[in-house]
Structure 1
Amino acid sequence: MTTVTLEIAEGLAREAITVWGFDAATHLELLKNRENFVYRFDSDHRPYVVRVHRQGYHSDAELGCELDFVRALHAEGVAVPEFIAAPDGSGFVVVGAESAVGPHQVDVQRLIPNRGMFGDERTAVAGTADLEPSDFTALGRLIGELHAATERSGYAMAVSRDDWDLEGLIGSEPAWGDPLGLTELVGDERATVSRAIERVRGQITAYGTPPHRFGPIHADLTPENVLRTETGLVVIDFDDFAAGWHLFDLATALYFYTPHPRAADYRSALFAGYEAVRPLDEADHEVFPAILLARGLTYLGWSADRRGEPTAEWHARTVLPHVVRLAEDLIAD
C-alpha cells in the first residue's frame, strides 16, 4: 500500500473541496496530522476545515452514522463541530479512487476559533498541567449536556460500529487490542492486571446496560479533543464514537490526569459539573474505578499493536505504571 504523504493528502483535500464549490488552488494550512490529515482554508472571508480521513478506518456507512450523530448534537445546542453538507446532501465525499493511494473519505466543517486545547496528555501524566478544578467542572457539564442531548434527540445507531461494550473493552478480541500483549507487562504486574480484568468484568456485567447508563458516546474525550473558545469548551473528533457506557466518557476525560497531584480535586469537579446536568446514582460512582481501569487497558492494547510509534512507546514506558496502580487499587477495594 502506498504511503499517504503530506503532498498526497493535500492533493486529496484539494480534489474534495472542489465538490463543495471551493477553489482547488486555495491556500491549505496543515492543522493536524495524526490519525487524519486536517487542514484549514478560507473562502469568502470564512474559515473552514477539510479533513482527509485515514483509509479504511470506517466504512462509508459508519462515517455517515458518525456525522449524523454530530449533526443531531449540534441541533440540540451542544458545542460540537458544524459539518457542511456536500451538494448531494451527504456529509462527506470520497475522492482519489483512481490515485495510487485509492479512495479516501473527506469532509468539510466550519473552523472553530479557539485558544487551544483543554490540555495535553503528557503534561497531565507528568503532573505539570496547570489546570484548575473549575476547568473540569466546565468539562463535566459539557459531557453531561452531550449525553442529555443524545437522549433528548432520540438518536439511534444507524449501523454497527466497534462498540465500547464489555467485549470491545476486555473481551477475547478487544476493539483496540489485547492489553496483556504489551511486552513490558510481566511478572507480578501482569498477574495484577489479569486479576483486575476479571474484577472489571464482574463489576461492569453487574452494572448492566440500561439506556440511562449505556448508549451513543464520544468515546475519545481526551484533553486534545476539547477546544477552549471564547464562549466555552467545544468537543471535537468523533472518530471513535459508538455505543458505550456514559461513564466511559468521564473516565476518558479524567484518565490522563489520574497521576496528577490534584487528581482528586479534578475528579470531584468533573463529577460535580456532570451531575449538575445529569444526575448519577450510587451504582455509577461504585463502578467508576472499574470503567476508569478499562479505559486504561484500551490504551495498553492500542500500544501493543503499534510498537515503534512514539505515542505507543510513551504509553508502554511511561503510562503503564499508572495503569498497574489503578489495577492494584481496584483489587484492594
Structure 2
Amino acid sequence: MSDVAPAPFRAGDPDAIARAAMALYPPAERGVPRLVCLSENATYRIDLPGGRRRVLRVHRPGYHDATEIRSELAWLDSLRAAGIQVPRAVCAMDGERLHHVSTPGTSGRHVVMFEWIDGTEPTPDIDPGSFARLGRITARLHQHSRAWRRPQGFRRKVWTHATMVGPAAAWGQWQAAQGLDPRARDTITHAMAQAGSELAAYGDGAARFGLIHADLRLANLLIAGERTHIIDFDDCGFSWFMQDLAAALSFFEDHPRMPHWVAHWLRGYETMTPVERADLSILPALIAQRRVQLLAWATSHAHTAQVQALGPQWATGCVTVCRDYLDGRLARRIGA
C-alpha cells in the first residue's frame, strides 16, 4: 500500500480511456460510455442494441494494481459459483477481462467491463428490514470467505487501524479536514488512540479477521424481486469481519435511527452466523474508526458530488461520533 494517497481523479481524465476501451470488445458489446459515478473510479453505463447495458469501470490510477484487480475478479467468480449474486466481468476479444488502456494526453488506466444488473437500491428510511437482509447477505459472504481456499498470488489491501486512520492511511489524512478546531482534533486523536488499543486487544485471528467486502452499504445492494445482488467489490480486502457492519453505517453513524439499523443487521446476520460478546463490544471502536476514515476520504475527495452533498455539518458530526465513543454513549446506544 502506498504511503501517499492517490492524486485527485479529475473528471476529464477517464473519458478518453472509456471511449478507447470500446475497441477491445466485440462489436455487440460496444456503445457510447456515459459517466454515472466518479468516486475512487469512474463508472460508465454502456447502452447496447436491444436494450442491453454494460458497466465499464475505469480504475483510478495508483489505487489498485493488476494483481489486486484480478484477485477481486477471482473472488467474484467463486462467490457466483457458490450461488451468491455478484457482478460478472465481460471478456474482451482477446479473452481477457482486465486491460490497461492508454490514449494520447492521458495516463493509462486499468479497465474492466461488467454485465449490467437491474434492481433498486434499498432505502433504510422506507424499509428498516433492509438492514436485516444486508446482515444475512454479509453472513453468507463471511461464511464463504472463511471456507474459500484463495488462489496462489491472491492479494488485496489489508484494512487495519494503521491503513484506515494512521499516518499512511490509504484514503488520506483526516487531519487535513477543514473546519476542525484544536479541541475537535484533540477529541478525534484521543478516540482513534483508544480505538487502536481496543482493536489490538481484540486481535486479528482467523475467527475475527479475514477477506471482507469492506464497503457493504445499502448503496451497494441492488434488489429485483426476490433476488439481491451485491455490487462494488472495489474495496474488498482483509479486515475484521465486524468491519462490514461499521461500513454498513457509512456516512450515517450519527443518525438517530442508527441503533435500530444495527439491531436489524445483527438479527439478520445471526440467522446464519453467531456473534460473540467480544464482537459486539468492539463495534463502537469500529464505527468511530470508520467515520474518521470517511472524514479522510471526504477530505481527499472534496471535488466529488457525493462529498459536496454531505454539507458543512458532516465534519462536525464526526467529532460527535468520536465524543460519543469516548464517553461510552455510542456503546450504550447500540447495546454493546
TM-score range relative to shorter protein: 0.7 to 0.9
Q: State the SS of the aligned residue for 1:141.
A: helix
1:30-70: CA deviation from partner (whole Å, max 9, x where unpaired): 43344313223325664322222223332122211221122
Q: Provide the residue aligned with 1:26 in structure 2.
A: 31
Q: State the SS of the aligned residue for 1:162.
A: coil
Q: Distance in 2 between matches of 1:74 and 1:224?
A: 20
The match for 2:76 among 70, 92, 99 is 70
Q: Do the aligned partners of residues 175 and 30 (structure 1) sit closer, same or farther apart at CA in structure 2, a change above 3 Å counting?
A: closer
Which region of structure 1 is more displaced relative to structure 2, 8-17 or 291-300? Answer: 8-17
Q: Provide the residue aligned with 1:168 in structure 2.
A: 163
Deviation at 1:216, TM superposition (A): 1.4
Q: Tell me how large the CA RMSD over aligned residues is.
A: 2.8
Q: Provide the residue aligned with 2:91 in structure 1.
A: 85
> For this pair of structures, how many residues does the alignment match?
321
Which region of structure 1 is more displaced relative to structure 2, 282-291 or 265-274? Answer: 265-274
| Maintained 8 Å contact 2:246/2:283 | yes
Q: Distance in 1 between matches of 2:127 and 2:306?
A: 26
| Maintained 8 Å contact 1:66/1:238 | yes
**2:184 is aligned with 1:189:** yes
The match for 2:45 among 39, 44, 65 is 39
Deviation at 1:28, TM superposition (A): 4.3
Q: For structure 2, which runs of at least 5 residues remain unmatched after alignment?
A: 1-6, 329-336
The match for 1:179 among 156, 167, 174 is 174
Q: Give the TM-score normalised by structure 1.
A: 0.85
**2:278 is aligned with 1:283:** yes
Q: Distance in 2 between matches of 1:114 and 1:181?
A: 37
Q: Provide the residue aligned with 2:105 in structure 1.
A: 100
The match for 1:246 among 222, 241, 248 is 241
Q: Distance in 2 between matches of 1:173 and 1:316?
A: 27
Q: Do the aligned partners of residues 178 and 5 (structure 1) sit closer, same or farther apart at CA in structure 2, a change above 3 Å counting?
A: closer
Q: Which amino acid aligns with 1:84?
A: V
Q: Provide the residue aligned with 2:117 in structure 1.
A: 112
Q: Distance in 2 between matches of 1:194 and 1:74?
A: 41
1:300-322: CA deviation from partner (whole Å, max 9, x where unpaired): 11233344555445557222233
Which region of structure 1 is more displaced relative to structure 2, 73-82 or 314-323? Answer: 314-323
| Maintained 8 Å contact 1:162/1:242 | yes
Which residues of 2 match residues 181-260 of structure 1 at below 5 A?
181-260=176-255
| Maintained 8 Å contact 2:254/2:320 | no
Q: Which amino acid aligns with 1:299?
A: L
1:83-125: CA deviation from partner (whole Å, max 9, x where unpaired): 12335443212222x422132222122111112x234xxxxxx
Q: Provide the residue aligned with 2:332 in structure 1.
A: none
Q: Percent identity?
A: 27
Q: Do the aligned partners of residues 31 and 317 (structure 1) sit closer, same or farther apart at CA in structure 2, a change above 3 Å counting?
A: closer
Q: For structure 1, which runs of at least 5 residues remain unmatched after alignment?
A: 120-128
Deviation at 1:4, TM superposition (A): 6.4
Q: Distance in 1 between matches of 2:30 and 2:274?
A: 50
Q: Which amino acid aligns with 1:239?
A: D
**2:49 is aligned with 1:54:** no
Deviation at 1:14, TM superposition (A): 4.1
